[in-house]
Structure 1
Amino acid sequence: MARRLLLVAAVAFAAAGCSGGPATPPAPTTTSTVDPVAVCTNQLVYWTKDILGNAKDTGLDYQEMGLDGDQYEALQALIEQARQHQSGGAVPPDWLQEQAKAACTRLAAKSPTPTTSGGYGWP
C-alpha cells in the first residue's frame, strides 16, 4: 500500500511539473549595433601587436585574420609605421590605437553604403 501511495505521489508530482506551472519570463531583447570602425580598429591593433611581437611569420593571410583587402593594406602600412617608430625609440602608448582608428575611419568613409538586392545571391 505504501508503494502504491508513493507511486501515485510521484506521478502527481511529475504531472504537476509538466502542467504549465509558472512560466519563465522571456529573455529581455536588446538591439545592439556594431560600430564597424571600432571592430576594424580592434582588429588592426591586435594584428599589429601580434606581428610586431612575434619574430616568426605565422603564415596567415588576410582572410584568416578576419580582414578584407583594404583593411589588410591598412594593417601593412600601420606595421611599417610602427616599425619606423620603434627604430627611433618607443612607440607612444596611444599611438597605435589612434593610427588604427584613423585608418579605419578612412576605410569606413570610402566604403559604399550597403544596398539590398531584389533577389537571392549577389546584387
Structure 2
Amino acid sequence: MRPGPPPRGGLLLVCALAFAIAALAGCGGGSRSENRPPPASPSPRTTSPEKLCAQLISHWARVVLDGGKQAGLDYQAMGLSGGQHQILLDVTAAARAEQKRQGADAARKLIDSQASARCAERYRSGSPTGGPWQ
C-alpha cells in the first residue's frame, strides 16, 4: 500500500489546534494582547549641543595639530558651523603654542579644556542664532 495524503479533516484539526495554542500563548493578537501595555522601549540617547561641539572641536584640533591627511579640509567638510570653525582656529592656535612650550600631551589637555569651555559658552543659552551655519 502507498501512503496517501492525510485526510482533509485531520489537516483542519491540526491547523485549528496550532491556532488555539498560539492564541493561548499570546501570539494570536486577540484581546489578551490588547489589555497589556506596550513594551517599554529605551529612550534614544542624545548628546547636548555643547558636548557635541566640544567633541568635534577636540577631534579636529588634534587632526590639524598632528598635520593629518584630513587637516586641509574646509570647515564644512569637517561638519562645523562658522562659529565652531572660529573656535577650532582659536583652540588650534593656542594648542600649537602650548605644544612648543610644554609638549604634545599638554597641547591635547589644552585642546580638551578650551574646546569644552568655548563650546559651553557658545551654547550657554541654547542654540546660537543667525542660521544653521553661524
Range class of TM-score, shorter chain = 0.5 to 0.7
Q: Relative to 1, partners in 2 of residues 1:3 and 1:51: Cα closer, same or farther, differing over 3 Å?
A: farther
Paired residues of 2:54 and 2:116 also in contact (CA < 8 A): yes
Instruction: Look up the match of 2:84.
Output: 71
**Is 1:41 aligned to residue 54 of structure 2?**
yes
Which consecutive residues of structure 2, in runs of 5 or more, have no partner in the other structure? 1-5
Structure 1 gaps of 5+ residues are 115-123
Q: Which residue of 1 aligns with 2:3?
A: none
Moved more, 3-12 or 55-64: 3-12
Q: AA paired with 1:102? A: A
CA distance in 2, matches of 1:31, 1:106: 26
Report what 1:101 is aligned to.
116
Aligned residues: 114
Identity of aligned residues (%): 29
Higher relative contact order (CA 8 A, sep 6+): 1
Q: If the length of structure 2 is used for normalisation, what is the TM-score?
A: 0.61
Structure 1 letter corresponding to 2:80: L
Q: TM-score, normalised by structure 1?
A: 0.65
Pairwise CA distance, 1:29: 6.1
Larger Rg: 2
Q: Could you tell me how far 1:10 is from its partner in structure 2?
A: 3.5
The answer to which structure has the higher helix fraction is: 2
Checking the alignment, whether the CA contact within 8 Å between 2:63 and 2:71 is kept in structure 1 is: no
Give the Cα–Cα distance (whole angstroms) in 1 for the partners of residues 38 and 14 of structure 2.
Answer: 29
